[in-house]
Amino acid sequence: MTNQVRDDKKEISFRLIEIKKVRFYQNDYTEFGLTQTDILKGNLNLGVNFELKPKEETITIFLVADFCKNNHKLFGIATSHTFKVKNFKDSIQFNEKGDSNLPDDLMKLWLSIVISDTRGMLVILNADHEYSKIVLPLIHLDTFMKSLKEKQKKAD
- Domain enclosing residue 48, as ranges: 2-155
pLDDT at 38: 94
Residue 99 vs residues 75, 82, 87, 152: alpha-carbon distances, Å? 34, 19, 18, 11
Q: pLDDT per residue over 14-44, tens digit each?
A: 999 999 999 999 999 999 999 999 999 999 9
pLDDT at 69: 96
pLDDT at 131: 95
Contacts of 114 (CB under 8 A, 6+ apart): 48, 61, 63, 79, 81
Which residue, 48, 34, 105, is CA-closest to 77? 48
pLDDT at 27: 97
Which residue, 47, 48, 109, 120, is CA-closest to 83? 109
pLDDT at 8: 54
pLDDT at 2: 52
d(CA 70, CA 72): 5
- Supply the pTM of this predicted model: 0.86
pLDDT at 156: 64
- Per the structure, the count of domains in the chain is 1
pLDDT at 80: 98
At 61, which CATH number? 3.10.420.10
Contacts of 27 (CB under 8 A, 6+ apart): 72, 73, 74, 75
The parts of the chain modelled with pLDDT lower than 50 are 1, 6-7
